Amino acid sequence: MTSVDILRTPDELARAERHTAHNYHPLPVVITEGEGAWVTDVDGRRYLDFLAGYSALNFGHRHPGLIAAAHAQLDRITLTSRAFVHDQFAEFCRSLAALCGKELVLPMNTGAEAVETAIKVSRKWGYQVKGVADGRAEIIVAADNFHGRTTTIVSFSTDPDAKADFGPYTPGFIVVPYGDEVALREAITPNTVAVLLEPIQGEAGVLVPPAGYFAAVRALCDEHNVLMVADEIQSGLGRTGRTFAIEHEGVVPDMYVLGKALGGGIVPVSAVAADRDVLGVLKPGEHGSTFGGNPLACAVGTEVVRLLATGDFQRRSAELGEHLHARLNALIGHGVVAVRGRGLWAGVDIDPALLTGRQAVERLAERGVLAKDTHGSTIRLAPPLVVTREEIDHAVDQLAAILS
Ligand SMILES: Cc1ncc(COP(=O)(O)O)c(C=O)c1O
């Protein structure tokens, strides 16, 4: 073996293993470069990225417009804190609010921070506007939710891996089955301030609720003066063929929670968007983040909003999503048990007699396609929205091959 034949991957994996907490179980792929829907590993192997950073890379790796916006901002100013105003802030907030059809936004960094923001705003709204007695606010969430990893958020997780041994837990959350309108109706009390839901549950396996569910949620929230909060962190910003997944249901929530793709795959950018009667409850000193709404984040975020405002990515996701789902549905009965999802987002249940989800994504990686398992034999496919029809065909062909 010559020196050029020595692979770097095993050494990089061993070094990473030695110096990190084991809070992830990554596939044994060490990525060094990416462009569009493709990444390259340290040994020169190329992979189609069908996870896209759990939708953080909706615009693909290193989208030229986003990279240019980041470069330009890196050369000017990157951080001020919110103690001062900077010249990228107003346009980001204006354009994002317009995209959401809301009056105000509040920028943060990670998705979990945006969810925490939504929880705090909902509680404060409950006390100050709805008139709930102090300390009694309740927020209704769904079983099998995934909203992040903070101690408050895992307090209402139903996933033992996410929750066990992290107590004591934050009270004030009621869990109901996802998609069950009757259970939701029965859970609402005079102390309910918000219903927090994912329009499609990603982590749970790309679960799409029954048609009409969100219209019923909206009606119940209106009837009982409860805020409807849509966590669109993974489902939003073009992923399902619309700007927001909840649009498929013809419903407008009181608050959007956004993250992931808002940072263009470059920086963590999250936000909540709502009207003044909701977000206006916050006063100086009550909430914030040193990095939230920083100049680099705003410059990239503004470009993300500009890309979405064209509608091109949503259209692409809708059209190519139909193709992806048609190809995947054709595998039902050939190693696939069920396919769910919308647009360029699919949860695929592999026949458990054939492979676990983990085995499936390992075999796909060997064939140059990166995807992620969820629970049991389910895998998730979420390519960047810049993926081509041929690339989709290639990835689905690899899936078919590992199932044959
Ligand atoms: C629906 C949803 N909400 C919240 C989060 C948490 O986002 P972050 O990992 O940026 O904190 C995620 C992340 O996967 C998510 O999918």
Q: For the chain, which domains are there?
A: 3-62+313-403 (3.90.1150.10), 77-309 (3.40.640.10)
Q: Is 199 in the pocket of ligand 1 (CB under 6 A)?
A: no
> What spacing in Å lies between the alpha carbon of 139 and ligand 1's midpoint?
18
Asked whether residue 394 carries a pLDDT value surpassing 80, the answer given is: yes
For the stretch 75-127, pLDDT in tens is 999 999 999 999 999 999 999 999 999 999 999 999 999 999 999 999 999 99
Q: What is the rounded CA–CA span in Å between residue 210 and residue 240?
A: 16
Asked whether residue 4 carries a pLDDT value surpassing 90, the answer given is: no
Counting residues of the chain whose pLDDT is more than 90, the rounded percentage is 98
Q: Is 115 in the pocket of ligand 1 (CB under 6 A)?
A: yes
Q: Is 237 in the pocket of ligand 1 (CB under 6 A)?
A: no
> What number does the ligand 1 atom closest to the CA of 232 have?
1
Asked whether residue 360 carries a pLDDT value surpassing 60, the answer given is: yes
Asked whether residue 1 carries a pLDDT value surpassing 70, the answer given is: no
Question: Which residues are the active-site residues?
Answer: 146, 231, 260
Q: What angle do CA 208, 370, 25 make, to 5 degrees?
A: 90
Q: Is 110 in the pocket of ligand 1 (CB under 6 A)?
A: yes
Mutate to test the pocket of ligand 1, among 24, 109, 110, 147 (most ligand atoms within 8 A of CB): 147
Model-level pTM? 0.98
